[in-house]
Amino acid sequence: MHAQSDERGHVVVPTAERPVPGDVAEGVTEDPERELGSRAPRFIKASRTLHLSWQVGVFVVGLAVVVAGVFMLVLPGPGWLVIFGGMAIWATEFVWAQLVLRWTRRKVTEAAQKALDPKVRRRNIILTTVGLVIIAVLVGIYLWKFGIVMPWKIDQ
């Protein structure tokens, strides 16, 4: 199909071929490097006061999620996952968080590609095996020396 031009001389792509924002064609992934900036609805961006209130709300909710994630680093829970969730909340409104999230996504992708490298996988398997053998030997020595004593049978 050929593109048509309007009276100003600009090329106009027919609507059937024009990509819809947010729409993902079959087999094509959405561009991870989409434009930076606020993703607040238009009616919120229209009023400066409302937009500022929106940003404060997004910041407070994101901060609460990030703080919960930090607590989960020392307490039971998926700490890093929750921290990145809070960053994603901030990234809906703040450019700095979008840039941090892009950098993090790029680094995680690079690490995943490195982990799939056969040499690295082989090294990791060897190190894991050596570590498990060392632990098994230490547990064996402990059991040989002290045996298995149930807590309710310990003499005081």
Residue 97 CB: number of other CB atoms within 10 A?
Answer: 19
Q: Is residue 19 domain-resident?
A: no
Q: Is residue 58 domain-resident?
A: yes
Distance CA 106, CA 110 (A): 6
Q: Which residues of 28-46 are buried (b: 16+ CB within 10 A; e: fewer)?
A: eeeeeeeeeebebeeeeee
Reported as a single tens digit per residue, the pLDDT across 4-24 is 544 555 554 444 444 444 444
Say if residue 140 is in the same domain as residue 156. yes
Tokens for 135, please give them: 């632990």
Tokens for 74, please give them: 């020392």
Chain CA centroid to CA 125, Å: 26
Q: Tell me 151's DSSP state.
A: G
Q: Is residue 149 domain-resident?
A: yes
Reported as a single tens digit per residue, the pLDDT across 29-68 is 455 566 777 777 777 777 888 888 888 999 999 999 999 9
- Closest alpha carbon to 105 in 117, 94, 97: 97
Say if residue 79 is in the same domain as residue 147. no
Say if residue 56 is in the same domain as residue 91. yes
Reported as a single tens digit per residue, the pLDDT across 119-150 is 888 998 999 999 999 999 999 998 888 888 76
Domain span including residue 152: 117-156
Question: How many structural domains comprise the chain?
Answer: 2
- Closest alpha carbon to 77 in 86, 85, 68: 68
For the entire predicted model, the pTM comes to 0.51
**Long-range interactions of 100-108: CB distance < 8 A, separation 24+:** 102/32, 102/33, 105/32
Q: Is residue 2 domain-resident?
A: no
Say if residue 71 is in the same domain as residue 126. no
Q: Is residue 17 domain-resident?
A: no
